[in-house]
Amino acid sequence: MEAAITRYRVLATVVGIMLLLVCFVGMPLRYIWDIPEASAVISPIHGFLYMVYLAISFDLYSKAGWPLKKIGVMVSAGLIPFLAFFIERRIVADAREVLASQQVAQA
């Protein structure tokens, strides 16, 4: 499960950064300065990485055995700017607690 946590951390951070680029670089360039090229590149990359993030999130969610509400929180992290960084810390802390309890149960 540690590998799933690491994958989640990396993808959450990358998706969070890409979302900030979409919102604070791509969208202003497109709609304020009428330069759509940046958004045309950044937005699809964020979309693809967000789909990968969803798969990685579901993997961690299923391994941790969390309630459905938790995956909803994880999904929202890639949709709201800055939220990914806060959610990532909380999810990783919760996942490490689950991992520790699984290791204690095995011992």
Look at residue 106 in the predicted model and tell me its pLDDT. 80
Q: How confident is the model at residue 107 (pLDDT cuts 50, 70, 90)?
A: low
**pTM of the full structure:** 0.92
* Cα dist from 103 to 63, 66, 97, whole Å: 13, 17, 10
Tell me the C-alpha distance between 96 and 91, whole Å: 8
Look at residue 87 in the predicted model and tell me its pLDDT. 95
Q: What is the pLDDT of residues 33-90, one digit of tens each?
A: 999 999 999 999 999 999 999 999 999 999 999 999 999 999 998 889 999 999 999 9
**Dihedrals phi, psi of 101, to nearest 5 degrees:** -70, -35
